[in-house]
Structure 1
Amino acid sequence: MSATQVVMNDEDQYSIWPAGSPLPAGWRAEGFTGSREDCLAHIDAAWTDMRPRSVREAMERAGGRNG
């Protein structure tokens, strides 16, 4: 069984990728490596807000103007 790593993009969205393989453009290693199941469990625990970062920031800015 090969190791899997958790990766994240600039929008703070998570995915898994084979450990040791070159990452696709726009993705960086998040720091967690393990089995596929362990990586998916880590993502489930860490990724609590599924909205892309740009959407969260826009909503915060809009809320600040209306609050």
Structure 2
Amino acid sequence: MDGDTQSYVVVLNDEEQYSIWPADRDLPLGWRGDGVSGSKAECLSHIGEVWTDMRPSSLRRSVEQAG
């Protein structure tokens, strides 16, 4: 156990890239919450479940349009 008692929120940017951010801080510009908060482990677990394609959304769209 890492002893981290900080609460986090799951955030994502316009390219649908995920990260976690301390819940008690304002979100950085360009990022929005996805509605999930909790411990670092809980947030990272959620990201592992929902972020299955690591490519930025603009690249995914480009590949789909070219294909």
Q: Report the alpha carbon displacement of residue 21 of structure 1 after superposing the two structures with TM.
A: 1.0
1:51 is aligned to 2:55? yes
Unaligned segments of structure 2, at least 5 residues: none
Moved over 2 A (4+): none
Bigger-Rg structure (1/2): 1
How many residues of Structure 1 are paired with residues of Structure 2 in the alignment? 63
- Report the equivalent of 1:22: 26
1:32 is aligned to 2:54? no
TM-score by length of 2: 0.90
- Report the equivalent of 1:2: 6
Q: CA RMSD in A?
A: 0.6
Q: In percent, how many aligned pairs have the same letter?
A: 56
TM-score by length of 1: 0.90
- Compare the two structures and name the one with the higher helix fraction: 1
